[in-house]
Amino acid sequence: MTSAKNKSGIKSWPQEDRPREKLLKKGAGALSNSELLAILLRTGVKGNSAIDLARNMLSKFGTFRNMSHSDDRDWKEFKGLGPAKIAQIKAALEIGRRFREDEVLGGKQKISAAKDVVDIIMPQMRDLKTEVFKVVYLNSNNKIIDIADAAYGTVNQAAPIVREIIHGALQKFAAAIICVHNHPSANIAPSAEDKKITGELSAAAKLLGIRMLDHIIIGDGSYFSFADEGIMS
């Protein structure tokens, strides 16, 4: 005998089992990952309900993190899934990431160690395919004022402009900065160029009374901190 859930459409399910109704009654925390994803999809494709499609997606990608860093080729196997639904999913994942950032910035988190910065920034940088150079601006109590992109690079290099980074610190009335960039290769050892830019930034900041506290290199699940290693200029 076939249960209601095995029918192709979610509308054929009992109301209490439908993801949207379940969310409204019990809250989003009561839903599985596939049920949350099914709500974003709204409808399925031929032969598969939204929940079936959501399960297939999670089976392929494994995690929402992997899904957020996918490209168009990864979605081709899901027949009937158009660009509008893919865009909805990616937008929702990005909203979730920015929500975590907003929580940190809204609370003006105090930075006491490199790991405090890594915990904030690694989720958005560890999977990037090209180098991105960011600057964390801090007030006199080492609380975050802002986190801003300073430069975008190729697969293996970024060329941040020292003057613009220091100008940004002055505009934001920052007392200190921490620079962060990723290595897409996942090799976190600093290059000669990394060491050079660290020295240039530190010297320029010092001239204007701004402290450069650290330069952090992000890999995939690991990081390198110039300050932790005792090699800040």
Whether the predicted pLDDT of 138 surpasses 60: yes
End-to-end CA, the chain: 73
Task: Kindly give the pairing relationship between strand 223-225 and strand 211-218.
Answer: antiparallel
Distance (Å, whole) CA 149 – CA 136: 9
- Domains of the chain, first to last: 4-101 (1.10.150), 108-225 (3.40.140.10)
Kindly report, residue by residue over 78-110, the tens digit of the pLDDT: 887 888 888 888 888 888 777 766 665 555 678
Q: What pLDDT shows up at residue 155?
A: 66
Distance (Å, whole) CA 197 – CA 165: 12
Kindly report, residue by residue over 48-68, the tens digit of the pLDDT: 888 888 999 899 988 887 888
SS3 per residue for the chain: CCCHHHCCCHHHCCHHHCHHHHHHHHCHHHCCHHHHHHHHHCCCECCECHHHHHHHHHHHHCCHHHHHCCCHHHHCCCCCCCHHHHHHHHHHHHHHHHHHHHHHHHCCCECCCHHHHHHHHHHHHCCCCCCEEEEEEECCCCEEEEEEEEEECCCCCCCCCHHHHHHHHHHCCCCEEEEEEECCCCCCCCCHHHHHHHHHHHHHHHHCCCEEEEEEEECCCCEEECCCCCCCC
| Six token digits for residue 193 | 């160029």
Residue 100 φ/ψ region, left for φ over 0, alpha for ψ in the -120 to 50 degree band, beta for the rest: alpha
pTM value surpassing 0.75:
no
Q: What pLDDT shows up at residue 24?
A: 87
Q: What pLDDT shows up at residue 6?
A: 45
